[in-house]
Amino acid sequence: MNTNHNKKMHAPRTHQEFNKDSYNKMNIERGDTLVYAMGGLGEVGKNMYCFEHENEILIVDAGVRFPEDNLLGVDYVIPDYNHLVKNSKKRKVLVITHGHEDHIGGIPFLLKTIDIEAIYAPAFAIALINKKLEERRMRGVKLIEINDRSSVKMKYFTIGFFNTTHSIPDSLGILINTPNGRVVHTGDFKFDLTPVGGNADYQVMAYMGQIGVDLLMSDSTNSGVEDFSISEKKVASEILDIMRKTRGRLIVATFASNVYRVSQILDAAVACGRKIIIFGRSMENVVTIGRKLGKIKVGEQHFLSPEELPHTPAHKICIVCTGSQGEPLAALSRIANGTHRYIKLIPGDTVVFSSSPIPGNGASVNQVVNKLFKAGANVLTKSILSNLHTTGHASQEEQKLMLQLIKPKYFMPIHGEYKMLKQHKETAIETGIPSENIFTCANGDVLILRKHKVYPSSFRIQADDIYVDGNDISGVSTAVLKDRTILADNGLVSVIIAIDSRENKVLCKPVIVSRGFVFIKDSQGLLKEAEMIVYNALNEKMKQKTTFSELKNCVRSTLEPYLYNKTHRNPIVIPVIINSKAAMQAMAARANRSTSNRKRSVSKQVHE
């Protein structure tokens, strides 16, 4: 397949126009190619890498990161697209390496923000992106399928592709030819000599190394893991062995995104004469797409509906579900809690975790495991005695192999936390790349590719995190997150005040209502004293002319120190001022008179 793109483009800018840009001219010259990450450096997630030359920007991947526990109410973390918005007149093309959420999850948010001429993605990623866009009712997006034989031609960039091995089908690395040199972006990869899917293109990688690569950008996720990772086929053999030995129901939890693992579990179930039932929305989507594209070769006759589950013998059932990371709303957590609609655990059930806990998820996973044991289930997890999981990312020896195949002049570790990037740098030095030719960057740092050499730039682009609540891509402000943290830690106190603004007096003692701060029945004395303190402060304040805003500030400045002295906690204090009905009517009448006077004044000026 050869995908050539020759659409009409913006005219190139003159030298004078280029100088009007906000770039730091100390070290960026006309004709330079800029390389920078908007996400994916110093973190695992929201991968987004950009290559900019004149009036074109090539974007590789557009992912999301899932929030940490301290980001209360946040659904996704996405890059700040402000730099791309500022460069709205530049032609933009998006290329996707594979279909994992940390590489495609940000596409709907990106499309709402800027115009993308076309999205180029491999087949499995296309299916997942289409599903994502359908759910959000986003139509008219130009999606073009690519594979290892494709070529995308822009004015300044020519992009080729090569097959890599990862935990999802149709995973690609990218060769980018720019006016200033060649760049290889590995995407996510590992080297598996007995893969479940297709083989990596070793010969193509070696050929690229022979013709010369100026800059390599390579996956750093497992930089701290020594040796080679185990093969997926060893995991398949272990799962098949467990299937054969298990006498009761078998429940297998794994990442829905690990398509090859899901395929192996389903194949093992069929080989052992077990019927399969899938639980978890993301797992259902992946199995449906995998079967449609021929990546999962299990016929409809091998699947159970939820209604058939109670009438099927236990030793003939294999349940495949989400929740291997202890996610509270995932299928396995609901099974463990006894709240799942269709499954109740029974003694003799075997639960297999075909995964390893992601850093930070260990406590959640242990909590689910304990609940499963309490319900009488036998739980199997990855250990030194079992090969129930293998990674989709290259370990140190595989990273060295990639470096030796590509033989880059310059190296930029990507896709990883800072320690992973640093460890990958050390690995690259071991293979012979000079330390000064390795760039450990942060999101927003700009590298200059100029005449087959790479230089760091003092210019940085804005690359902050944007916190998404629901589908609102305007972002949750840090002030909102701070309030949510205070609410979670200290609760809320509402002060209801009745006043008469005509007579400038408080009509009665304030009423204080608390939620998540103190237990009201046990704290009557505290709240009554607080009411009197606020009442006295308001009476003093209303002896002089004042405003609603000043009254609210008076409540906060009086109540917050008192509550902290008594409880050493700082709840959010919300004053609610209720004006008397007569005062409200008088205010409305004054407002109406003022409006009428303005209209008469305007009318008089018009006639004059």
CATH of the domain at 131: 3.60.15.10
Residues 202 and 255 in one domain: no
User: Does 510 reside within a domain?
Assistant: yes
> pLDDT tens, 317-359?
999 999 998 888 899 999 999 999 999 999 989 999 998 877 6
DSSP state, 518?
Answer: S
| Residues 6 or more apart in contact with residue 70 via CB below 8 angstroms | 485
Strands 172-178 and 158-163: antiparallel
User: Does 568 reside within a domain?
Assistant: yes
> pLDDT tens, 463-498?
988 888 876 666 666 667 777 777 888 888 999 988
> pLDDT tens, 164-180?
999 999 999 999 999 99
Residues 488 and 350 in one domain: no
> pLDDT tens, 419-434?
999 999 999 999 999 9
393 is catalytic: yes
- Which of residues 175 and 30 earns the better pLDDT score? 175
- Which of residues 501 and 188 earns the better pLDDT score? 188
User: Does 602 reside within a domain?
Assistant: no
Question: Is 256 annotated as ligand-binding?
Answer: yes
Find, among 586, 402, 462, 440, the residue nearest to 86 by Cα: 462
Residues 167 and 266 in one domain: no
Residues 491 and 567 in one domain: yes
The answer to whether residues 295 and 317 touch, using CB atoms and an 8 Å cutoff, is no
Residues 363 and 253 in one domain: yes
Count of CB atoms situated within 10 Å of the CB of 368: 25
CA distance 311 to 314: 9
Residues 343 and 260 in one domain: yes
State which of 450, 468, 486 marks the end of a domain: 468
Residue 374, CA distances (Å) to 96, 378, 561 in order:
44, 10, 47
Tell me the β-bridge partners of 154: none
Q: How many domains does the chain have?
A: 3
Question: C-alpha angle 250/256/260, rounded to 5°?
Answer: 85
565-571 long-range contacts, CB within 8 A, separation 24+: 566/526, 567/517, 567/518, 567/526, 569/489, 569/490, 569/491, 569/517, 570/486, 570/490, 571/486, 571/490, 571/491, 571/492, 571/493, 571/514, 571/516, 571/517
Question: Is 11 annotated as ligand-binding?
Answer: no
DSSP state, 522?
Answer: G
Dihedral over Cα of 24, 29, 35, 41: its sign:
negative
Find, among 166, 61, 51, the residue nearest to 103 by Cα: 61
User: Does 247 reside within a domain?
Assistant: yes
CA distance 417 to 422: 9
Residues 402 and 365 in one domain: no
The answer to whether residues 540 and 561 touch, using CB atoms and an 8 Å cutoff, is no
3 state DSSP class of 49: strand
In this prediction, residue 589 carries a pLDDT of: 65
Q: What is the length of the chain?
A: 608
DSSP state, 556?
Answer: H
Question: Is 464 annotated as ligand-binding?
Answer: no
Show the DSSP H helices in 432-547 as ranges: 478-490, 524-541
Question: Is 391 annotated as ligand-binding?
Answer: yes
Find, among 156, 149, 158, 204, the residue nearest to 177 by Cα: 158
pTM for this entry: 0.80
The answer to whether residues 183 and 449 touch, using CB atoms and an 8 Å cutoff, is yes
Residues 160 and 58 in one domain: yes
Q: How confident is the model at residue 517 (pLDDT cuts 50, 70, 90)?
A: confident
Question: Is 181 annotated as ligand-binding?
Answer: no
Q: Please determine, for residue 10, whether its predicted confidence score (pLDDT) is greater than 50.
A: no
What is the domain extent for residue 545? 478-587
Q: DSSP letters of 117-148?
A: S-EEE-HHHHHHHHHHHHHTT-----EEE--T
> pLDDT tens, 109-149?
999 999 999 999 999 999 999 999 999 899 999 999 999 99
The answer to whether residues 33 and 51 touch, using CB atoms and an 8 Å cutoff, is yes
Count of CB atoms situated within 10 Å of the CB of 336: 25
User: Does 13 reside within a domain?
Assistant: no
Question: Is 42 annotated as ligand-binding?
Answer: no
User: Does 419 reside within a domain?
Assistant: yes
Q: Please determine, for residue 566, whether its predicted confidence score (pLDDT) is greater than 90.
A: no
For 68, half-sphere exposure in the C-beta direction (CA atoms, 13 angstrom radius) is 8
Residues 405 and 523 in one domain: no
Catalytic residue among 53, 83, 185, 393: 393
Q: Please determine, for residue 575, whether its predicted confidence score (pLDDT) is greater than 60.
A: yes
Residue 243, CA distances (Å) to 144, 252, 269, 319, 352 in order:
40, 10, 7, 12, 10
- Which of residues 363 and 100 earns the better pLDDT score? 100
3 state DSSP class of 478: helix
> pLDDT tens, 206-228?
999 999 999 999 999 999 999 88
Question: Is 32 annotated as ligand-binding?
Answer: no
Q: How confident is the model at residue 587 (pLDDT cuts 50, 70, 90)?
A: low
Catalytic residue among 61, 219, 349, 465: 219
Question: Is 378 annotated as ligand-binding?
Answer: no
Q: How confident is the model at residue 596 (pLDDT cuts 50, 70, 90)?
A: low
In this prediction, residue 466 carries a pLDDT of: 87
For the domain that residue 290 is a member of, what is the CATH number? 3.40.50.10710
Instruction: State which of 7-16, 161-170, 235-244 shows the largest mean pLDDT.
Output: 161-170
367-375 long-range contacts, CB within 8 A, separation 24+: 367/326, 368/323, 368/326, 368/332, 368/333, 368/336, 371/336, 371/337, 372/335, 372/336, 372/345, 375/336, 375/338, 375/345, 375/347, 375/349
Q: For the chain, give the percent of residues with pLDDT over 70.
A: 88
Count of CB atoms situated within 10 Å of the CB of 335: 27
State which of 447, 468, 489 marks the end of a domain: 468
Residues 334 and 410 in one domain: no
Residues 72 and 213 in one domain: yes
CA distance 538 to 551: 7
> pLDDT tens, 364-415?
899 999 999 999 999 998 865 577 888 999 999 999 999 999 999 999 999 9
Instruction: Look up residue 87 and give its two tokens.
Output: 């460069």
User: Does 592 reside within a domain?
Assistant: no
- Which of residues 295 and 503 earns the better pLDDT score? 295
State which of 358, 380, 402 marks the end of a domain: 380
Instruction: State which of 25-34, 225-234, 405-414 shows the largest mean pLDDT.
Output: 405-414
User: Does 193 reside within a domain?
Assistant: yes
Question: Is 522 annotated as ligand-binding?
Answer: no
Residues 60 and 183 in one domain: yes
For 321, half-sphere exposure in the C-beta direction (CA atoms, 13 angstrom radius) is 26
What's the mean per-residue pLDDT of the chain? 88
CA dihedral 198, 199, 203, 207 (to 10 degrees): 70
For the domain that residue 569 is a member of, what is the CATH number? 3.10.20.580
